Amino acid sequence: MSAPDALPLGIEIRPLQSDDVDAVVAIETEAFTTPWQADTFASLIDRDGVELIVMVEESGLVIGYAVVWCILDQGELANLALSPVRRGAGLGSHLLRHVVDVAAGRGVQKLFLEVRASNKRAIDLYTRFGFEDVGLRRAYYDNPREDARVMLMAVG
């Protein structure tokens, strides 16, 4: 897995708080064609088996987030996204490394995800971390209709 050890100066990763929801929804809306709504994120706060993680600048501005389901020894990376202006600087690697660490801490041994087949940047990141293709969900995504690659990483 390739991720630099230390976060860039002024960047922090922490659990999502209710005050972060609007900023997360703004990033979600930029990143996904069928975005989750604010009430979805709000309903997941403090829900058993869900890890909500945000990446924030020193000013408190949310610049990325992740949602991970952890059930027994399996997990699913449901969402991971960065603010468009912060993409391409390696921050996704830091966020994904944190997700994997949190999942491992919860006893997850297998971490799954689905990703648009055309999302080469995300697929490259996941592959660098050790995710491998284990399936394909045909016509899984809407707007546009597209297949999802199902990927798996052995954690720990």
Active-site residue numbers? 114, 126
* 49: helix, strand or coil: coil
β-pairing verdict for 110-116 and 74-82: parallel
Residue 14: CB partners within 8 Å, gap ≥ 6?
53, 54, 56
**Cα 75-102-11 angle, rounded to 5 deg:** 130
| Residues 31-34: contacts with CB under 8 Å, at least 24 apart | 31/81, 31/82, 31/84, 32/79, 32/81, 33/141, 33/142, 33/143, 33/144, 34/141, 34/142, 34/143
Q: Which two tokens stand for residue 58?
A: 């020193």
